[in-house]
Structure 1
Amino acid sequence: MAQRTNPEHAPLRAAPQEAGATAARSANPWLVVISLSIAAATASIQQSAVLPLLPRLQESLHASVTSVTWAFTVSLLCGAVATPLFSRFGDMYGRRRMLLLTLVLLVGGSVLGAVSTSVTTLIVARVLQGISAAMVPLAIGTVRDLLPPEKMASGIGVLSATMGIGVGVGFLLSGVIAEVTSGYRVVFWIIAGLALAATALTALTVHDVTPPTGGRPDLPGAILLASTLVCLLLAISQGKSWGWGSGAVIGLFIGAVVLGAAWIAVERRTAEPLVDISMLTHRGTVGASLASMLLGFALFSGFTLLPNFAQTPAKAGYGFGASVLGAGIYLLPTTILMLLVSTLAGGLIRRFSAANMVAVGAVLAALSDVWMVLRHDHSYDLYITTTLLGLGVGCAFAALGTMAVEHVEASKTAVASAVNSLVRLVGGSIAGAVTSAVLTSDTIANTKIPTLHAYQVSFAIAAVSVALAAAFAAFFGWLNKRTAASADAAR
């Protein structure tokens, strides 16, 4: 009997096997999962490792706060554009080739960052590094092709969780380097070395299961998407300094709306679009997309706010005057728990469903933010917060990858995963801009130190974000389950 492929509730299974797929599967697929997890974690490290170094970058490169902040934001921005573009390239030219290309660009960007002597060079380096964010959907597509159905959720869960793990490791890496050096270049050299090792490991272990399909890239869609995000993020990040009512800021917001509308129009008319707009509104994926964007916002808010809070001198009336390494140690529970939870993801998803896992994880993450709003006077408050954040984000991100693809046709796996990664990176990019705007708009008199109230507002915004993520995941999980049950009853 032929197996159904109803796009509203396609079974979670591997893509149709082509010639050679059986051989590829027989070559220890978990070695491939481990290799891709290492590569994805390395790509995530570059997203956070630069954050603790921003003051040093400002001093070493004689740059403004805004300029060096863009060294962080531009990586997320480029990742948001590169994710759907390279996912499409993966279908056209082969995922293995695109995985290796993103890793080579990560090596090149890291080396360029290590030798940079100006903000311009550094930003170019961060652009090259940011492209490596496309690795996650490429890796998820590879794993879904490779693993049998009963192992797929575990494999995707491990891959999905590596993003948060890498972010935590990035902070620890910067902290250790900050303790033993006075510059920033060593961090970039270490990332270059890790990326080079990940490139070699990927080249040795990863092979395409399905052949490339060919086609044409949607470059106009990529340009319009990048322009939309630049206008939006620039308006948010510069609102305080330029004035929220200024012509420049209002013009940027209007530009973001106009360019965004043009992007949607172009994508709907393009035969092979950068982003399948229907996938954004697909009943099987819209819940995962909304949850992913809101969780991305909360995760990057947490990883931005918590280290800064910990490093604030106690004379400000809050904070602990921690070193960069000390701030990274506060985040250690999050990193460890995300890794542990990801290893249990497969069994938990089979028992409770991916949507319920995302909802529960989002609730725990919301509690971590609420705790920081209400309790922040002792070191153990930070450890309680990062423990809740690790459990919550670990559960949610380990299941998001499965939730994003389990209700679409197997042939749409890469597209659905790319859309999910795109909206997560957009959420993270907006988080950086919003957090910066809130903290810089409410400072202690005659200083540039944010007030305690500014942090409480920022944590409250993050709490609302993940609470909404929990609601969306629960509702659309219930809706998809009911739709599937109705379809089965009709047959």
Structure 2
Amino acid sequence: MWVLASVTPAVMCVVRTLRRGSASGDSGRPAAGSGAAVLLLAAFGVAIAQTIVVAALAVFARELDVTTTSATWLLTAFMLASAVATPVAGRLGDLFGHRRVIVTGLALLLTGSVVAALSTHLDSFPGAVAGRVLQGLAGGVFPCAFGLARQSVPAERLEGVVAALSVTFGVGGALGMVVAGPLVDVTGPATLFWLIAALALLALAGMVRATLPSAPCSPTGRVDLAGAALLAGVLVAILLAVSQGRAWGWSSPWIIGLFAATVALSAAFGITERHVAAPLVDLRLLIGPRLLTTNIATLVVSVGMFAAVTLLPLFVQTSTALGYGFGYSPARTGLVMAPIAVCMLLATPLAARVSSALGARATFGAGAVLAAIALTGLGLLHEHIAAVLFWCAGLGLAYGLAFASLGSLVVGAVWRGQTGAATGINTILRTVGGALGAALATVIVTSSATTLGQPPTESGYTTAFVVAGAIALCAAGVTATRSIVNPRRRVDAPSRAKRLKDR
């Protein structure tokens, strides 16, 4: 019952998109409805996979006989693999067709889910992490979904579909935590992975049946394997350093070496991307004037969001014997997370209206400010569950506004042949920000413990929530600065949609 109540809003969102887009465009493109619904389903499957383990990390730690800190690698491994795979997939989609890459990504999601489920049944933590890595390689579905939408959805429907795809990243992540609790309580942790396998199989069937174009947007060039290897090295080094800093010691040679490797590999990556003919990450899309502030804001706001969603389940499941927390089971934890998912979903049409009136940048800024308020509230006012639920609702609304506007900001700033690359970069930044946020939150909370291995104190959670709020406020500051330097020109919704399609 809980699972149906959690997933139904997302299904209804897909149905509404299908109905709105049921007519073909005047240009003779295929009907948008079924294609848009399938793309949303594929993106939803990947999004829910990224966080479905969060509410059950304590259960996984117990079942697989590892510490709770080690169990967080079930989250970090997915995000790390996704961050590495996303730019490669975006580039492959531009070169060989987004539909082919989406099908491949869904196949990896299905395979990884089966591996993780069987490994959990066999009490194999390394196998479960390996399965999560395979699942994470499906992260490339996101940029290719944007690219395929741009090819197949009529201009008048494109902006709405882009916003829906963008917010799916957050909605799916929140729903993953809602669904996890009741499933784990009733059937055990392996069921979480079987659910993802079912979603991947359903999306694969939809991709086979849907009428979607297979032609590439930019059929010339090749994949930058050297850049991919260097980017993987950067991400592994920084995430390992942040996540293991307290356990290994921040001044230990290993941690210092990892931070030094991050700097060196980042420099090598930048040099390589500037000189290769077909770079994995076009630095003009990453740090160029059209997308620089959007990319910075994306990274920063993702750090704040995933810090919060990592902390919330741990906080509410903390035993009341420690003087804080609520001692909730995973199922009740899912109920606490439900307002985030529901309000994110409700924020999607609201974001479209605000963007039409004030622009996508103003919508993002409003969401970031609201997120800062909600996170600070969680840090300072969390004694009663009613207050926690209220702040969770505000957080869902905030991130619904922020994520729904990001897709339009990115897609509206590039030409069609750059859609996969640009949205891939933005998705990387969301994923990297999420991984850093989860690691940062864990470090802050565990550092509050008097000795290593002891339960954290309430002050650790307070500090982590407030820090996450300050980070979200920084994202709002980035967009405000951009608005002062280059005020937005008002564009009516029909002409904006046409510009998105024609570029």
Q: Calculate the TM-score normalised by the size of structure 2.
A: 0.88
The residue identity in structure 2 corresponding to 1:112 is: V
Matched, 1:428 2:434: yes
Matched, 1:113 2:116: yes
Matched, 1:369 2:350: no
Question: Which consecutive segments of 4 or more residues in structure 1 shift more than 4 A?
Answer: 21-26, 444-447, 482-485
The residue identity in structure 1 corresponding to 2:299 is: M
Alignment correspondent of 1:12: none
The residue identity in structure 2 corresponding to 1:468 is: C
Alignment correspondent of 1:9: none
Secondary structure in structure 1 of the residue aligned to 2:72: helix
Alpha-carbon distance in structure 1 between the residues aligned to 2:90 and 2:390: 38
Deviation per CA, 1:205-262: give whole Å up to 9, x if none.
Answer: 2522653514321111111111111111111111111111111110110011101111
Alpha-carbon distance in structure 2 between the residues aligned to 1:211 and 1:82: 19
Alignment correspondent of 1:32: 35
CA-CA distance at 1:283 after TM superposition: 1.5
Alignment correspondent of 1:42: 45
CA-CA distance at 1:45 after TM superposition: 1.2
Task: State which drifts further: 310-319 or 47-56.
Answer: 47-56
Matched, 1:211 2:211: no
Task: State which drifts further: 201-210 or 325-334.
Answer: 201-210
Alignment correspondent of 2:4: none
**Contact 1:152 1:346 (8 Å CA) reproduced:** no
Alignment of 1:291-370 (within 5 A): 291-370=297-376
CA-CA distance at 1:445 after TM superposition: 6.7
CA-CA distance at 1:301 after TM superposition: 1.0
Q: Calculate the TM-score normalised by the size of structure 1.
A: 0.90
Deviation per CA, 1:82-104: give whole Å up to 9, x if none.
Answer: 11110001011110000010001
CA-CA distance at 1:24 after TM superposition: 8.6
Alignment of 1:338-417 (within 5 A): 338-417=344-423
> How large is the Cα RMSD of the aligned pairs?
2.1
The residue identity in structure 2 corresponding to 1:460 is: V
Question: Gapped runs of 5+ residues in structure 1?
Answer: 1-20, 486-491
Secondary structure in structure 2 of the residue aligned to 1:331: helix
Matched, 1:233 2:239: yes
Alignment correspondent of 1:18: none
**Paired-residue identity, %:** 36
Alignment correspondent of 2:192: 187
Task: State which drifts further: 64-73 or 79-88.
Answer: 64-73
Alignment of 1:74-89 (within 5 A): 74-89=77-92
The residue identity in structure 2 corresponding to 1:69 is: T
Alpha-carbon distance in structure 2 between the residues aligned to 1:447 and 1:136: 38
CA-CA distance at 1:484 after TM superposition: 9.5
**Contact 1:24 1:146 (8 Å CA) reproduced:** no
CA-CA distance at 1:266 after TM superposition: 0.7
Matched, 1:471 2:477: yes
**Contact 2:96 2:215 (8 Å CA) reproduced:** no
Matched, 1:62 2:65: yes
Alpha-carbon distance in structure 2 between the residues aligned to 1:310 and 1:286: 37
Task: State which drifts further: 65-74 or 255-264.
Answer: 65-74
Alpha-carbon distance in structure 2 between the residues aligned to 1:299 and 1:244: 25
Alpha-carbon distance in structure 2 between the residues aligned to 1:304 and 1:207: 36
Task: State which drifts further: 329-338 or 440-449.
Answer: 440-449
CA-CA distance at 1:26 after TM superposition: 4.2
CA-CA distance at 1:30 after TM superposition: 2.9
Pick closer, same or farther for the CA change 1:244–1:217 going to 2, 3 Å.
Answer: same
Matched, 1:247 2:253: yes
Question: Gapped runs of 5+ residues in structure 2?
Answer: 1-23, 492-503
**Contact 1:154 1:347 (8 Å CA) reproduced:** no
Q: How many residues align?
A: 464
Deviation per CA, 1:318-367: give whole Å up to 9, x if none.
Answer: 11111111111111111111112213433331211000000000011111
